[in-house]
Structure 1
Amino acid sequence: MKVKIDIDCTPDEARSFLGLPDVSRINEAMVDEVVRRTEANLESMEPEALMRQWSSIGGQMTNQFMEMMRQAGTTPGSGKGS
């Protein structure tokens, strides 16, 4: 046996019915702060500086990957005297 109940209500009505607190003001304050910080950081970052930073990280990751591949390709005991 299946029972299906559809409840048509707004999020505010559901929150009130379930006894949950209204966090809309806190949510708005947090979103405003995230937007403010994001805009402040975007204004301080130059595209050229971002590209230099990203390309240096990419180069380091490539070097680390290549070193890992070299180590994986070297079998223990493959040196002299084996």
Structure 2
Amino acid sequence: MMKITINIDCTPEEARTFMGLPDVKPMQEMMMKEVEERMKSNLNAMDPETLFKTWLPAGISNMEQLQKMFWAQFNNGPIGGSSKE
């Protein structure tokens, strides 16, 4: 039995071209730019004011209305019925 070893010294680009594989670097760069843009736009959604507006009902537009809603709930008494004295 005979073994033959061949060492080829080439760059990855040269090997890819020799084997007929496509150059995906431009597509990869384009995709990375898109991922970066999406991440930046999602960071804007993490702004506290934006989160506050998203989580609260549309009828509550400012902090004063929110406070009035909370106080109205507290003034209604215990949850589940009348209180025993």
TM class, shorter-chain normalised?
A: 0.3 to 0.5
Richer in helix (by share): 1
> TM-score, normalization: structure 2?
0.45
Q: Which has the larger radius of gyration?
A: 2
> TM-score, normalization: structure 1?
0.46
